[in-house]
Amino acid sequence: MELFHGPTLAFKDFAMQLIGQMFQTVLERRGERITIVGATSGDTGSAAIEAFRGLDNVDVCILYPHGRVSEVQRRQMTTPAEANVHALAVEGTFDDCQRHLKDMFADQAFRGEVRLAAVNSINWARVLAQVVYYWWASASLGGQTLSFTVPTGNFGDIYAGFIAKRMGLATDRLVIATNRNDILRAAVQGGRYEVGTVHPTISPSMDIQVSSNFERLLFDAMDRDGARVAALMNSLKQSGGFTIPEAAQARIRRHFDADSASEEETGDRIAATFADTGELVCPHTAVGLDVAETHLDIDVPMVALATAHPAKFPDAVEAATGIRPPLPKHLGNLYDRSERVTRVENDLAAIQSVIREKRAK
């Protein structure tokens, strides 16, 4: 199920495009103006910029780690000409950007001054928007029972599939596919959720250790007992891990399978898919396809979610197939457009003053 035909070539456009318009409608009605600040390792930043560019009541500032995003990702953030779009290249890592963002939200004075707002992946409206395409898949295939394999990072996309199932969609298995950052596979297969270090992979949008939306599944699997879930989350904070209670493990496994693909398997799957079908797939999609292959049931069609366009990750695709996928037409001149970006020190006060200055213009 190709979900990457939106403006920034990743499935995140589905949710971002919707909430951009929702924000604008409500702000217009209230006569308010807000500043959206986000930190990105690539795809979320461009999807947010694309959703909010040119809107009257919103400034959008995206922090990304200088020199650590792909050229396509960077250009998607730095080439929009609208005055309300501000790309900030921070002299640090993605973790630094995320830390500064958290500190900004904790700074009450700053928060009020610029009317700070967020669009991160636990935003409930984003999850809801993603429920729709699970139903669309079912309707397209005549309403028969389906299984889904979903390349997973923050557990937002596949959690939307679980919501669809809870709403009554005829669904058999929901298969979590991870790259070598496989904390979710270990949690679902073995019951132990344990944070390690993030390994960079060729599917970078899934290079995540703590999957924010997984907490929501736990809440459901533990009889919606908020206090017990909070205790597990606390132990995650204190000791870097927790064991999922047996009964909750069994409930999770009633709906979910989980598996991971190594870097080599991912590359091989891109090559094999091209050889078998003539289709170029992005490395995230390839992780999903590789895992889907080992979870097939003869009686139930498997829908694999394709989360990004191959041209967004041209190096990995070229390495596997020898073919460099071209950008689609609407991004065809991305490499020729002029860039606008503000370099900023890896320092909270410096970032805050740039944001103040940008939104004043």
**Bridge partners (DSSP) listed for residue 126:** none
Taking the complex as a whole, the smallest distance from the CB of residue 222 to ligand PLP amounts, in Å, to: 21
Helix axes 156-166, 214-221, angle to 10 degrees: 30
The contacts of residue 14 (CB under 8 Å, 6+ apart) are: 3, 6, 129, 130, 132, 133
C-alpha 150/C-alpha 75 separation (Å) is 27
| Nearest distance in Å: CB 73, ligand PLP | 10
Nearer to ligand PLP, 104 or 184 (CB): 184
Alpha carbon 6 to its chain's center? 14
CB of 128 to ligand PLP, least distance (A): 13
For the annotated catalytic residues, the residue numbers are 12
Cα separation, 101 vs 81, whole angstroms: 24
Nearer residue to ligand PLP within complex by CB, 73 or 84: 73
Residue type, 104: M
Residue with smaller CB distance to ligand PLP, 152 or 266: 152
Which residues have C-beta within 8 Å of that of residue 50, sequence separation ≥ 6? 6, 7, 8, 13, 16, 17, 76, 80
Q: 155 or 242, CB closer to ligand PLP?
A: 155
Instruction: Tell me the β-bridge partners of 86.
Output: 61
SS3 254: helix
To ligand PLP, the closest distance from the beta carbon of 106 in angstroms equals 24
Distances (CA, A) of 211 to 66, 162, 193: 24, 15, 10
Q: To which H or E segment does residue 151 belong?
A: strand 146-151
CB closer to ligand PLP, 206 vs 244: 206
CB of 174 to ligand PLP, least distance (A): 12
How many C-beta atoms lie closer than 10 Å to residue 325's C-beta?
17
**Contact residues for 57 (Cβ-Cβ < 8 A; gap 6+):** 23, 24, 27, 28, 32, 33, 34
Which residues make beta-bridge pairs with 64?
89
Interface residue list for ligand PLP (CB under 6 A): 10, 12, 43, 121, 151-157, 205-206, 284, 307-308
Nearer to ligand PLP, 43 or 59 (CB): 43
Provide, rounded to whole angstroms, the least separation between the CB of residue 205 and ligand PLP: 3
